[in-house]
């Protein structure tokens, strides 16, 4: 039966696979036949994700802190070296969200979001575009941005800046890396049902207001995973430098 999202045999790196969107994306991709490299900082959480995937024996866990920016290209090269297969795709789900009013902004709390959200994405793009890392048929990179890049909220200036910058990165990288058959796209979800959202619920989130604005409801993380699968698949082979907003009406 024809399946345009079939990823059988495709080798895909998923960062932030320990929980939330990253874990849901890994599960979706595994169901579509992808061979995964699951990345996160916590080895135990990666094992939980691995257990939730289909055909778990064909996947690999690689605990690595993306805050070690200069080590990212070497780490990715080692993943595909030594008999490992080149990458067909990467989904950068790792990230951080902190509520930082401007009166408390500091270089440290700005970096706490810029490093995982933006800087790590740039280093991953450098890594996957290196010789012998990308598959001969090309590689698709999906960056998880946020609808917060499009809708202003108090205390979210640094976070919104990091996510808006991802779209600029995707556009520039898509043009620069096209000759290497590297496609780069963004997904910008609004409120997604994740542990990160649950953690914020007791402090900065007004869920009644959210439900009024995001009138199709809180997004299931698997929906984001399906969109990532589409962008990784051959069905999207002509799409690059684009951002796909998944907002349940939040930005309307």
* pLDDT at 83 (0 to 100): 63
* pLDDT at 153 (0 to 100): 85
**Which long-range contacts does 237-243 make (Cβ < 8 Å, 24+ apart)?**
237/183, 239/183, 239/185, 240/174, 240/178, 240/183, 240/184, 240/185, 241/170, 241/171, 241/174, 241/175, 241/184, 241/185, 242/170, 242/185, 242/186, 243/145, 243/167, 243/170, 243/185, 243/186, 243/187, 243/188
Residues of the chain with pLDDT under 70: 82-83, 196-208
Judge whether 156 and 99 are in contact, CB under 8 Å.
Answer: yes
**Burial of 20 (C-beta count, 10 Å sphere; 0-12/13-18/19+):** buried
Residue 252 resides in a domain: no
* pLDDT at 194 (0 to 100): 81
Residue 4 resides in a domain: no
Number of domains the chain is built from? 1
* pLDDT at 204 (0 to 100): 52
Range of the domain at 161: 11-246
Residue 3 resides in a domain: no
* pLDDT at 29 (0 to 100): 98
Residue 99 resides in a domain: yes
pTM for the full predicted model: 0.94
DSSP state of 118: I
* pLDDT at 212 (0 to 100): 76
Beta bridge partners of 96: none
Residue 193 resides in a domain: yes
Pairing of strands 243-246, 35-40: unpaired
Q: What is the CATH number of the domain that holds 223?
A: 3.40.50.720
Judge whether 53 and 36 are in contact, CB under 8 Å.
Answer: yes
Separation of alpha carbons 234 and 105, rounded Å: 43
């Amino acid at each position: 039966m024809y399946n345009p999202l079939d990823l059988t045999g495709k080798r895909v790196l998923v960062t932030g696979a320990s929980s939330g969107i990253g874990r849901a994306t890994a599960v979706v991709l595994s169901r579509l036949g992808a061979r995964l490299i699951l990345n996160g900082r916590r080895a135990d959480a990666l094992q939980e994700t691995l257990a939730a995937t289909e055909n778990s024996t064909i996947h690999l866990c690689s605990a690595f802190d993306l805050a070690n920016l200069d080590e990212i290209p070497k780490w990715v090269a080692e993943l595909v070296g030594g008999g490992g297969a080149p990458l067909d795709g990467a989904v950068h789900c790792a990230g951080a969200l902190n509520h930082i009013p401007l009166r408390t902004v500091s270089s440290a709390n700005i970096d706490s979001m810029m490093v995982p959200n933006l800087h790590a994405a740039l280093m991953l793009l450098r890594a996957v575009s290196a010789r012998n890392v990308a598959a001969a048929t090309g590689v698709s990179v999906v960056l998880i941005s946020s609808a917060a890049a499009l809708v202003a909220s108090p205390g979210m200036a640094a976070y919104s800046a990091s996510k808006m910058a991802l779209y600029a990165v995707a556009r520039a990288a898509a043009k620069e890396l096209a000759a290497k058959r590297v496609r780069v796209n963004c997904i910008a979800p609004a409120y997604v049902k994740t542990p990160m959202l649950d953690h914020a619920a007791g402090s900065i989130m007004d869920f009644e207001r959210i439900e009024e604005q995001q009138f199709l409801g809180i997004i299931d993380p698997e929906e984001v995973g399906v969109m990532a699968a589409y962008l990784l698949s051959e069905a999207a082979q002509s799409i690059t430098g684009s951002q796909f907003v998944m907002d349940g009406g939040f930005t309307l």
